[in-house]
Chain A
Amino acid sequence: MPLYECNEHQFVENIRRLVETSDKVLVNRRISLHDDAKYGPATLPDVQFKHYEQICTRKSANSTVYAKVPFVDDFHGRMHDVNENLHAATALMFPRLSIPYYRVEYSVNLWGSTYLFAFDALFDPEVTIEKRSGKKIGKGSLIHVLKHNPPQERLLTINLPRQVMVFDVKNMVRVIDHSSNF
């Protein structure tokens, strides 16, 4: 059973064509949280890296990222020291400062084929200065805190008309169809 990947434009237009020819269309949606070090600050485009510039520095995209100041990574509960290597240019696949994200997958099954549109939505970084206590920083010290806020759900979803039913699913298990052999 083939699986076809679509971009947003192709996927939405395919659904529109289905809506125009059917009464109801069923779309499966899967939204899952990941924090597997797939994304780090070194590989971010400059526009996105600006949100980290209060605490990190780099020469350009894909260069090593260092901590400018000591800070607490609130999402992972970790403390990073000044000049600490957060994402090495020689190890872009393995950032020490990982950016969490939602994996969003939309799929439609039609005549045994699956049409898939998937994207990753990064959590929004927010840098604040807060009073924190810890072994390295002592009691009640002011320190930079990096927070990663999840994006709003309405930004992750594709708004669809009423003829389209959206089913939320946990996982998509691919089944091998042997029926055509008989």
Chain B
Amino acid sequence: MDSMRRLKSISVLIPVDRIQSSLSEMGFIPGGSVTIITDGKYWNRMLYVRGKETITVSDEIGDAYPKDPIITICGSGTTISKVIGSIDSQLASS
């Protein structure tokens, strides 16, 4: 399983709470968060874990517009496809 893990990063224009609910539906549990500063901006970096698979969601803090959280996935190809599919369906419905 570990050798089959793949990498993918996506930047999407979807509110972070909708991403979080999709991840929890897929069985990912929160593994903590940290405040980071990069590009002169404050971000909340949240970790989600399911077995050896991890997803981090970095969301800019404050009223910035447009808000495009960065989702970084280190997991199986199936997980990556499911996350992208979930994002696509949310983009289509919004």
Question: Which residues of A come within 8 Å of B, CB atoms?
Answer: 7-9, 11-13, 15-16, 19, 39, 44-48, 101, 117-122, 124, 151-152, 154-156, 158-162, 164
Chain A residues with Cβ below 8 Å from B90 are none
Inter-chain contact A155/B61, CB cutoff 8 Å: no
Inter-chain contact A119/B62, CB cutoff 8 Å: no
5 new A-B pairs (CB below 8 Å) besides A9-B10, A158-B72, A161-B5? A8-B70, A9-B70, A16-B6, A151-B34, A161-B74
Inter-chain contact B3/A8, CB cutoff 8 Å: no
Interface: B47 (CB within 8 A): yes
Question: Which residues of B come within 8 Å of A, CB atoms?
Answer: 2-3, 5-11, 31-39, 42-45, 47, 54, 56, 58, 61-62, 70, 72, 74
Q: How far is A1 from B94 in the complex, measured between Cα atoms in Å?
A: 45
Chain A residues with Cβ below 8 Å from B11 are 9
State whether A122 and B34 are in contact (beta carbons under 8 Å apart), knowing that A16-B9, A162-B5 are contacts in the complex.
Answer: yes
Inter-chain contact A120/B9, CB cutoff 8 Å: no
> Dominant SS at the B interface?
strand
State whether A122 and B35 are in contact (beta carbons under 8 Å apart), knowing that A47-B61, A162-B2 are contacts in the complex.
Answer: yes
Inter-chain contact A8/B2, CB cutoff 8 Å: no
Count of inter-chain pairs, beta carbons less than 8 A: 91
> Dominant SS at the A interface?
mixed
Taking the nearest CB of chain A, how far is it from the CB of B28, in angstroms? 13
Q: How far is A54 from B56 in the complex, measured between Cα atoms in Å?
A: 30
Inter-chain contact A45/B74, CB cutoff 8 Å: no
Chain A residues with Cβ below 8 Å from B2 are 162
- Listed by A's residue number, 20 A-B pairs whose Cβ atoms lie within 8 Å are A7-B70, A8-B38, A9-B9, A9-B70, A12-B72, A15-B7, A16-B6, A19-B7, A45-B62, A47-B44, A119-B43, A121-B36, A152-B32, A155-B34, A156-B34, A158-B74, A159-B56, A159-B72, A161-B5, A162-B3
Q: How far is A101 from B42 in the complex, measured between Cα atoms in Å?
A: 13
Taking the nearest CB of chain B, how far is it from the CB of A161, in angstroms? 4
Inter-chain contact B7/A121, CB cutoff 8 Å: no
Chain B residues with Cβ below 8 Å from A120 are 36-38
State whether A45 and B36 are in contact (beta carbons under 8 Å apart), knowing that A19-B7, A161-B5, A162-B5 are contacts in the complex.
Answer: no
